[in-house]
Amino acid sequence: MPKLNNAQKSCWADTKTAAEVLGITPRHLRHLRAHGLFKLGKHYRIASSPLSARPTYLWHIERCGHALEIPLEKR
């Protein structure tokens, strides 16, 4: 994971921004969420209305970065 400044570490960011900071694609970020690496409430939250057709996610960059540092065989 790239070195982050304090503002980047502690904030919730949209999918595109979080993926850029984490050094992965937005598609891969969503893939990891769908496969259980990221947990709702800890790593991401749903920012859109419950009535919307498609959810909009916000990602906690620091927590996602820590999850990505876990070796594949331990995930």
Residue 5 has pLDDT above 90, yes or no: no
Of the candidates 17, 49, 16, the residue with the CA atom closest to the CA atom of residue 4: 17
Per-residue model confidence as pLDDT tens digits over 15-70: 999 999 999 999 999 999 999 999 999 999 999 999 999 999 999 999 999 999 99
Could you give the 3-state DSSP secondary structure of residue 13? strand
The residue-averaged pLDDT of 1-28 equals: 83
List of domains in the chain: 6-74 (1.10.1660.60)
Residue 9 has pLDDT above 80, yes or no: no
pLDDT of residue 2: 56
Of the candidates 71, 69, 61, the residue with the CA atom closest to the CA atom of residue 22: 61
Identity of the residue numbered 39: K
